[in-house]
Structure 1
Amino acid sequence: MTTQFPWAHATHPDWRMAASLCLAQIEHASRTETGRQATLGFLYLTDHFAEASDDILAFLRERTGITHWTGAIGVGVAAGMAEYIDEPAMAFMLADFSPDDFQVFSGKSRPPAREARTPNGRSASWTALVHADASTPDLPELLQDMAGKIAGDTLFGGVSSSRHANALIADGIFAGGLSGVVLSENIQVESRISQGCQPIGPVHRVTASAGRLLNRLDDAPALDVLLRDMGAPTEWAPSIVQGVPVAPDARKQQAASTVQMLQGTFIGFGEGDAFLRGNYPVRPLVGVDPHERALAMGAELDDADHVVFCRRDRHAAQVDLIRACTELRETIETRYGSMDRIRGALYISCLGRTGTLFGGPSAEMQLVQQQLGDVPLIGLFANGEIYGDRISWYTGVLVTFL
């Protein structure tokens, strides 16, 4: 079996005690080859420890001898099957990457150039773990710029979430902008994104739109297409959205049911091939125009030419997370021969997914760990999830190192 990354997590009001508990958990790893040769630490802290983040990083550097660290602060962190929400906690994982195969970056340290090479001739800027400060203006543009600096695979990561000052960890404590670690082509990474919802119908082609307004799909009124996907009669739509009580009682009852269905509707959008990969942004349906039979969504369409209507509830979230994990497992087993090749994993989830969406405390992490098996797993509950060149919300980003 592949040697796994040492990892640890703990909760305690005193950060020194929490850090010491974590170090005690990985003490045995210091006697293994991976522990002795660790070169990079992934560190996530809850915002209860925001003011002590400088001291925590210095303490861990001194005790582990590891110089390079990357991470962020969130209202919640995760590890294994545990979720620590709104309590003082930390989680970290230690990797033994070759120093030639990673570079921590921040506002004070640039990432390697897109064309940079490792000593063995492979790309030095293949993929990147990125953390962002939520208070930074123009984050979408910064992410697109960062994605342009990556020669191969996708970006992944999250936006810090904190009720205090946001903090990013990148060989120091920073505020603002982006930070993280760029990984070379020599580091094998596989990732997936879970949208937390399920399509309720087929993918539709956008044939008329303006800004956030969907006018026609597949050459038919967008509202009619949505109602057909929902199994609702399209002829009742004007009375439904205007609330005009002109239908008989039976029709009123069905109209009310349709209104309730509309309130839980989301719209996934993107270019055609995005739907094959499950990598597309999802935004809520925010309104309808009964006269034009058009739909208003919570984002600009930009260059999107296809949409799919979705539902987000507990069942849909569970099914989609299992779907993402299953696809990841199949890819790993096909390319690498066995899930035993996983050395460690990161999971960045939306803070809005905590609580009842998955059925109770820690239910989301329990599902991820059950799907992956017994592998080192830590994560962050973010204020937005980074995958590709954009920020998503209410999603879960799962990353494995092999």
Structure 2
Amino acid sequence: MTDIPQPGYPPMEWANAVSTCPSLEGAVKEVVEQLQGRLTTTPDLGLVFISSSFTSEFARLLPLLQSLLPIPALVGCSGGGIVGTSAQGQPQEIENTPALSLTVAKLPGVSVQSFHVSSDDLPDLDSPPSAWSELIGVDPAQNPQFVLMADPFSSGINDLLQGLDFAYPSGVKIGGLAGIDGFNRHSGLFCDRTLYSEGVVGVALSGPLVLDTIVAQGCRPIGPVYRVDKAERNILLALGTADGDDPRPPLELLQALFDTLSESDRQLAQRSLFIGIAQDSFKLTLDQGDFLIRTLLGVDPKMGAIAVGDRLRPGQRVQFHLRDAHTSAIDLENLLQRYQHQAPASTTTAGALMFACAGRGEGLYDQANFDSSLFAQYLPGLPLGGFFCGGEIGPVGQTTFLHGFTSVFGICRQPSSEVER
């Protein structure tokens, strides 16, 4: 991809700095000093992510930051681990160590609206789209893109995602659930100059900006694609095949599939078996990224039914999936390759955000910086910031979901044509 500024707009400026200084004052000073040498003007947006180990000092973070580097819109949260870019330009995933990551961006022509939404303020799901847009304070005609950070104990995050998709159907939504301190189970949400302990904070970006997404759910399909013949809420009762065979109990089909697997896959299926739900009803050939991965909650041997971690409806297509470290790596690499080939040739890519499940990282791969380093191989030189989440927000198809065991990347660039604006 080449850096070709769009007519009428200078290039975006995007930078990230990270510090592992155990002192909050020292960490803030270090990231600000690094960033002041990388931007030529005052940033429009800041995204800050801080280790949960700083919990007792969360209230001091925003005043310290704003005193050294005033930022009109500043949002962020605590994380179980922190993602940033070293002074040498290398991606870093900092786990089990105090860390602070600050991303700042100058976004010419872009309207930047930060916000906090309390769970108590969410409209009813039967409300019209206008109720959701009034809550956020952004006109849907502006086609905003969203970055969201949520309280992990909020019961309303799925309702909010559904409402935002309703009000802003073409807007991308990415982010994650804030990390918690293991001792007192507190999290921190930051918006401008205020610390919140509940709800959702976020930023809406409207104007000449595109937010591309890569949602790596870390699974590979096994067996055929089935069609849901009968289901009640989240209970899968009968599946049919593409060949038109009579519907059968899903547990019976799963047991037959199990017999066809290799010994290694059988062992993996005993602990890491999932189901994928196709999100495009009309696509004839389904790829890995076309499925929303959900857990299997249990089985009923008498009925041959399977309980799934999401609602199902007749006519949907499903496929069983396996997940492990090797599969997660291959899945992310395939998606990065696809993005590299499909991205517009003449575009200005500015920076990126990474929201990764706390179950990934070094604990999954036995290797530090795996996902971020793989990302940098395909999109070198991009400033990268983010955090390890208790749940990841990202789209599959045209719908936004809360995921698990996933890495969501948001790639910010200027439009390559008037069509993208």
Q: Report the CA distance between 1:364 and its aligned residue.
A: 2.2
1:220 aligns with 2:248: yes
Which moved further from structure 2: 57-66 or 190-199?
A: 57-66
**Could you tell me which of 164, 183, 188 is aligned with 2:210?**
188
Q: Aligned partners of 1:7 and 1:213: how far apart in 2?
A: 45
Q: Aligned partners of 1:74 and 1:17: how far apart in 2?
A: 19
Give the aligned residue type for 1:91.
Answer: S
Q: Report the CA distance between 1:69 and its aligned residue.
A: 0.4
State the partner residue of 1:326.
337
What residue ranges of structure 1 are gaps of 5+ in the alignment? 116-122, 234-253
State the partner residue of 2:172.
154
Q: Report the CA distance between 1:393 and its aligned residue.
A: 0.8
State the partner residue of 2:328.
317
State the partner residue of 2:51.
46
**C-alpha spacing 1:188/1:72, structure 2 compared with 1 (3 Å):** same
More helix by share: 1
Could you say what the CA RMSD is over the residues aligned between the two structures, in angstroms?
Answer: 2.7
Q: Report the CA distance between 1:285 and its aligned residue.
A: 2.5
The count of aligned residue pairs is 367
Deviations 1:240-279 (A, max 9, x none): xxxxxxxxxxxxxx8x984763432111124444855825
Contact 2:228-2:313 at 8 Å conserved across structures: no
Q: Report the CA distance between 1:40 and its aligned residue.
A: 0.8
Contact 2:230-2:314 at 8 Å conserved across structures: no
Give the aligned residue type for 2:404.
Answer: W
State the partner residue of 1:236.
none
State the partner residue of 1:65.
70
Q: Report the CA distance between 1:3 and its aligned residue.
A: 5.8
**Could you tell me which of 264, 267, 272 is aligned with 1:264?**
272
State the partner residue of 1:385.
392
Contact 1:317-1:358 at 8 Å conserved across structures: no
Q: Aligned partners of 1:65 and 1:260: how far apart in 2?
A: 50
Q: Aligned partners of 1:127 and 1:69: how far apart in 2?
A: 16
Instruction: Write the mapping of 1:11-50 to structure 2, written as runs, cut at 5 A.
Output: 11-30=20-39, 32=40, 36-50=41-55
Contact 2:42-2:71 at 8 Å conserved across structures: no
**Could you tell me which of 146, 152, 161 is aligned with 1:143?**
161
Q: Aligned partners of 1:222 and 1:267: how far apart in 2?
A: 11
Question: SS at 1:355's partner residue?
Answer: helix
Contact 1:112-1:182 at 8 Å conserved across structures: no
More strand by share: 2
1:365 aligns with 2:372: yes
State the partner residue of 1:111.
136
Which moved further from structure 2: 171-180 or 276-285?
A: 276-285
**C-alpha spacing 1:336/1:72, structure 2 compared with 1 (3 Å):** farther
Q: Report the CA distance between 1:213 and its aligned residue.
A: 2.6
State the partner residue of 2:131.
none
Q: Aligned partners of 2:169 and 2:393: how far apart in 1?
A: 17
State the partner residue of 1:8.
17
State the partner residue of 2:260.
232
Give the aligned residue type for 2:68.
Answer: R
Q: Aligned partners of 1:359 and 1:100: how far apart in 2?
A: 40
Q: What percent identity do the matched residue pairs reach?
A: 25
Q: Aligned partners of 1:41 and 1:260: how far apart in 2?
A: 42
Contact 1:167-1:174 at 8 Å conserved across structures: yes
State the partner residue of 1:300.
311
Contact 1:73-1:162 at 8 Å conserved across structures: yes
Taking structure 2 as the reference length, what is the TM-score of the superposition? 0.79
Question: SS at 2:153's partner residue?
Answer: coil
Give the aligned residue type for 2:189.
Answer: L
**Could you tell me which of 161, 165, 170 is aligned with 2:191?**
170
Taking structure 1 as the reference length, what is the TM-score of the superposition? 0.83
Q: Report the CA distance between 1:345 and its aligned residue.
A: 0.1
Deviations 1:88-124 (A, max 9, x none): 1011111112475221111389523444xxxxxxx42
Question: SS at 1:29's partner residue?
Answer: coil
1:90 aligns with 2:111: no
